Structure 1
Amino acid sequence: MIKEENKDAFLKVIETNKGIIYKVSRAYCYHDEDRKDLIQEIIIQLWNSFSKYNDQYQLSTWIYRIAINVAISFYRKNSVRNNMTTQLTSAVNFIDDSHTKELEDDIALLYRFIHELNSLDKALMLFYLEQKTYKEIADILDISETNVATRIGRVKKVIKQKFLAINK
């Protein structure tokens, strides 16, 4: 495939699957500017790997794998910088949402709790919320279905406890 055809095909893939990229970036980044940086990094890595795509796998699985790996690396690289900021900054982002509907508040809290999880658990919850089957999640993350089920169960329990603690 010549470069122009490759470029057009790539742009079509990105346009068709941009929801995956946005969901991953939202799960791993609080702030809009960080999200934009992560989205850009994911797209660069997808472009660098595009010629190596093996159509034996679903395109969405391939995109998820790259997006999650880039997000984990991005998260680790930026965690030192983010730990230097105060926790108040994160809390203020959600306190200001008091004028929104209750559902929007709950969704914001859910993403806050997901953001606090470790990298693997973030990915698991992202896929769980997208209603992926345990088999699909296991294939994307290259872990066993049993491990997926166990970890999701534990994370759901932790998140439920956090919601209950806030609503007391």
Structure 2
Amino acid sequence: MKKELEHSFVELLEKHQNIVHKVCRLYTNNYDAHNDLFQEITIQLWKAYPKFRGDAKFSTWMYRVGLNTAITLYRKSKRTINTQDFEGVEFKITAEAYDDTEEQQLKVLYKAVHQLNDIEKALVFLYLEDKDYREISETLGISEVNARVKMNRIKTKLKTILNP
């Protein structure tokens, strides 16, 4: 049973690992911090996976765990990500090469997004991932109307940041 659980987790993580990379990119500023946060999110996903009921899509659940982990660590450490050892489980995940070509084009936008607060960053991230407001509200635990209002305010805020 444990091997089946581990196998299904690794398979889903490999399939959706770009979600975790994107969360890491949003909340870190360098390669080492990115890798540390990726590892920490993976650990938290593994710890929570046995409780995953499938009420939401795996990717939506993964966004929620990843964002919550990143926000919690970000707040605790004031931009220094601390990792924890996780003994007893060894994952053999084929890591995709992380291509940052597209991100170079978005560098200015990321710089502006880094000036937003944690919840605003998460909302922008999900919006840029083409999530509808229902999925955004489920992931962030806010109402759909609240998600729409916040997104409109964030758009105005980003316009001000990008065009001073």
Smaller-chain TM-score bracket: 0.7 to 0.9
CA positional deviation for 1:78: 2.5
CA positional deviation for 1:161: 1.4
Q: Which consecutive aligned stretches of 4+ in structure 1 deviate over 6 angstroms post-superposition?
A: none
In structure 2, the CA distance between the partners of 1:81 and 1:25, relative to structure 1 (3 Å rule), is closer
CA distance in 2, matches of 1:37, 1:15: 17
Q: Structure 2, unaligned stretches of length 5 or more?
A: 82-100
CA distance in 1, matches of 2:136, 2:156: 19
Structure 1, residues 35-82: CA drift from partner, whole Å, max 9, x if none? 111110000001011111111221111111100110101111221659
> Which residue in the other structure is 1:95 paired with?
none
Number of residue-to-residue matches in the alignment: 145
TM-score, with structure 2 as normaliser: 0.82
CA positional deviation for 1:143: 0.3
Counting only pairs closer than 5 Å after superposition, residues 1-168 of structure 1 correspond to structure 2 as 2-79=1-78, 81=80, 107-165=106-164
User: Quick check: which one's helix share is greater?
Assistant: 1
Q: Structure 1, unaligned stretches of length 5 or more?
A: 83-100
In structure 2, the CA distance between the partners of 1:124 and 1:80, relative to structure 1 (3 Å rule), is closer
CA positional deviation for 1:150: 1.0
In structure 2, the CA distance between the partners of 1:53 and 1:105, relative to structure 1 (3 Å rule), is closer
Structure 1, residues 15-53: CA drift from partner, whole Å, max 9, x if none? 111111111111111111111111100000010111111
Percentage of matched positions with identical amino acids: 37
SS at match of 1:57: coil
Contact 2:21–2:38 (Cα < 8 Å) also in 1: yes
Counterpart amino acid of 1:50?
Y
Contact 1:30–1:115 (Cα < 8 Å) also in 2: no
Counterpart amino acid of 1:23?
K
> Which residue in the other structure is 2:88 paired with?
none
> Which residue in the other structure is 2:98 paired with?
none
CA distance in 2, matches of 1:50, 1:7: 9
Question: Which has the greater radius of gyration?
Answer: 1
